Amino acid sequence: MTPPVPRSGQPAVRPYRGRIAPSPTGWLHAGHARTFTVAWRRANAAGGTCILRMEDLDTARCKPVYAEAVYDDLRWLGLNWEEGPDTGGPHAPYVQSERGEIYRTWWNALRDSGCIYPSPHSRKDVREALSAPHGDSGEAVFPARLRPPPGARGGRTATRAGNWRVRGPDDRAIRFTDGCRGDTEYTAGRDFGDFIVWRKDGYPSYEFAVVVDDHLMGITEVVRGEDLLLSTARQQLLYEAFGWSAPAWYHCTLVRDADGRRLAKRTDARSLRAMRLAGVDPVRLCGRLFASQR
């Protein structure tokens, strides 16, 4: 089929492509139900596509039993997904642990550009080394003094070099417009520091894999929880480093318990799986979730 020719002076409008991107590191909860439902509804309302991507790079925490529950929970919620890798049938999910070669190719490209560097410091080292206060988010900001001088690229292989970090543009404002919250701004070097893109265990970090995937999968809008707002700021820097345009962003407010605490994957009693097995009506659950919050 021939694609429609855009009228001169008008950019071609890309069809909406969204994604549901769970990590099978625990039982999903009502917050996931809301975020994934928003993602699915926005794709449908735009007449677009919604894909499923299983984000299973945290090998220590991901378990097949959680992945199985994700599929069952999504079906229970009435959320279906489209396409998938050729090998897995028409509605197979994309699975990050099967995409190692792709990430390695793009990691090589980033390394050759000089905007990342090998760092022997783990997140724990950074937390321990910091006497300075953490960023507003409470997150330990990597201190610039631990950064090697520009031009020091280190070893050629990921595994020998420890973690690899992005050399941050200190004090630069990172701005984006969020579909839910409006204009949003963070400052590199204050709200977050040089972040890890490649882990010393040979896997890409969440930030890196998600940017490569969202770009290669043609995602036009990322819908996720607002606990990942800082990650979005970091990811904007990666889009810039790759020379790719970033998708639109839509961060959903978090679902909280009666005491105002964020829901956690650890609490099985509040999991979607537990509700599903107890015969809760998913339509009523969604009605409640959308009644009071965005």
Among 16, 17, 18, 23, indicate the residue that binds ligand GLU (CB under 6 A). 23
Kindly tell me which of 117 and 198 has the beta carbon lying closer to ligand GLU. Answer: 198
Kindly tell me which of 58 and 240 has the beta carbon lying closer to ligand GLU. Answer: 58
The verdict on 118 binding ligand GLU (CB under 6 A) reads no
Kindly tell me which of 22 and 204 has the beta carbon lying closer to ligand GLU. Answer: 22
The verdict on 21 binding ligand GLU (CB under 6 A) reads yes
Kindly tell me which of 146 and 248 has the beta carbon lying closer to ligand GLU. Answer: 248
Residues carrying an active site annotation = 265
CA-derived radius of gyration, the chain? 20
Q: Restricting to residues 25-84, name those near ligand GLU by CB under 6 A.
A: 55
The verdict on 22 binding ligand GLU (CB under 6 A) reads yes
- Smallest gap from Cβ 188 to ligand GLU, in A, equals 19
- Smallest gap from Cβ 150 to ligand GLU, in A, equals 30
- Smallest gap from Cβ 169 to ligand GLU, in A, equals 22
Residues that bind ligand GLU (CB under 6 A): 21-23, 55, 210, 224, 228
